[in-house]
Structure 1
């Protein structure tokens, strides 16, 4: 694990326009705060996400919850900014690459990231959400990729992250027809792992984050980064990488202590998150 560079207090004090931060013990709650624009992502917003999760890497934080102000989690790319900028193909290619970098920072920041999703989780908002490790949705949340109807194409990683979750066929359907997933159907296809009442979403996400924060940091790092990287490898390479990660993780001091507690029947019982 990287050497810690930031305390939780340092992170909470970071000056952002579109993200508000608070600490819940070892859990950092990051709230998207551009509700007047349905938390749409413009260039500055993406830079703030990049900077935040770069700072989280190697910090004292043990888990992160990403929530949102207003009725919607994130409506995706700020189409008004995009239209007004009249970008060239090269300009927009670099915008996409910056989104990729920011969302990779989230996925590989080394700690569990849990999303508290509501309202619109569409387009770039869905691309952002699929960079999280666990997604908790309330009953108002709906998931869509309306790029086809807008005459555009995904640029924030959906062709990788969304396609892995729901499959290429479902993703193509979402883009061509504007199909929307919500409720139990969204859980069934893998867009979220939990579905809760509207007034419980953030609290459930924080509860899950606290539960994950109890794990040894090295174990959480291995889980949140190792599985994604292994998924990109041919089978023989994946098996080798799995064995290498297991060799390091399963022999750490925290692992020895917890296995001793399990052997002695003093370990806490597993309970539902």
Structure 2
């Protein structure tokens, strides 16, 4: 079904592995197409409750884009390339109503760093390195990197990272707020699944609303506060809200059904 990725579904978690280890899992048109299709499955398959995106091997999550595809492009084609990738993959990840974790193994550079930042949560292996080295090619990040990095690490550090192309290691990335957790390489997927198992026990309709609200907060959406109030109200019309309140009062664990 896919040329460049592998997918597995276990306990409601779809693990998407970019499988080009000989190319450091670099993004090209085929990877973007495959990721787009896999994300459609995440959105539309009711058996999928959450997803993990990772890279094959221990050297790289995604070490950038396939530069050979850039050479023949003009300004219009370059803009179209970026827009298509954002629509098919990056914005689709960020706006997914189901939680998506980036399990970052090794290099996460350029489009790889942008891919990780589009995810809702990032877990990194101790050998992970993050960076936006596009300036070395005479270009800038095009898959949302200038915007998402600024939101995650602040204006000053984003300016420095993007203009110098310097990489940051896993621990510095955690200190900056770029990643949530740093673990040993062998524990990477286990940690991601552990977090998703906690979220899976929560009401999925509320989880989807949280994702939408926090995204609006990160984007400084002027309607963010009003939308929070609206979604808060919508929760009261769900069976899960009644179950959660009843379970709290009855001092038992709630059983949420996504209704």
* TM-score normalized by the length of structure 2: 0.92
| CA apart distance, 1:55 | 2.6
| Map of 1:259 onto structure 2 | 245
| CA apart distance, 1:54 | 2.1
For the residue of structure 2 that corresponds to 1:195, the secondary structure is strand
Match of 2:69 among 59, 66, 81: 81
| Map of 1:3 onto structure 2 | none
- In 2, distance between residues paired with 1:166 and 1:72? 22
| Map of 2:162 onto structure 1 | 175
Is the Cα–Cα contact under 8 Å of residues 58 and 110 in structure 1 kept in the other structure? no
Is the Cα–Cα contact under 8 Å of residues 143 and 180 in structure 1 kept in the other structure? yes
Is the Cα–Cα contact under 8 Å of residues 18 and 33 in structure 1 kept in the other structure? yes
- In 2, distance between residues paired with 1:182 and 1:16? 31
Does the C-alpha gap of structure 1 residues 185 and 250 become closer, same or farther in structure 2, counting only changes over 3 Å? farther
| CA apart distance, 1:152 | 1.5
- In 2, distance between residues paired with 1:208 and 1:24? 15
For the residue of structure 2 that corresponds to 1:130, the secondary structure is helix
| CA apart distance, 1:184 | 2.2
Is the Cα–Cα contact under 8 Å of residues 18 and 54 in structure 2 kept in the other structure? yes
The answer on 1:133 being equivalent to 2:114 is no
State the aligned residue count. Answer: 251
Give CA deviations for 1:199-250 in whole Å, capped at 9, x if unaligned.
1001111121222122222112111223213443555x32211100111124
- In 2, distance between residues paired with 1:213 and 1:234? 27
- In 1, distance between residues paired with 2:123 and 2:144? 20
| Map of 2:42 onto structure 1 | 56
Q: Which has the larger displacement, 119-128 or 202-211?
A: 202-211
Question: What are the equivalent positions in structure 2 for 1:91-110 lying under 5 Å apart?
Answer: 91-101=77-87, 102-110=89-97
| Map of 1:216 onto structure 2 | 203
- In 1, distance between residues paired with 2:207 and 2:73? 40
Does the C-alpha gap of structure 1 residues 189 and 233 become closer, same or farther in structure 2, counting only changes over 3 Å? closer
Match of 1:188 among 167, 175, 185: 175
- In 1, distance between residues paired with 2:56 and 2:232? 39
The gaps in structure 1 that reach 5 residues or longer are 1-14, 269-273
Give CA deviations for 1:249-269 in whole Å, capped at 9, x if unaligned.
24411121122111222138x
For the residue of structure 1 that corresponds to 2:62, the secondary structure is coil
The answer on 1:142 being equivalent to 2:129 is yes
| Map of 1:165 onto structure 2 | 152
The answer on 1:17 being equivalent to 2:3 is yes
Does the C-alpha gap of structure 1 residues 234 and 94 become closer, same or farther in structure 2, counting only changes over 3 Å? closer
For the residue of structure 1 that corresponds to 2:54, the secondary structure is strand
- In 2, distance between residues paired with 1:51 and 1:225? 22
- In 1, distance between residues paired with 2:103 and 2:112? 12
Is the Cα–Cα contact under 8 Å of residues 140 and 198 in structure 1 kept in the other structure? yes
Does the C-alpha gap of structure 1 residues 250 and 179 become closer, same or farther in structure 2, counting only changes over 3 Å? farther
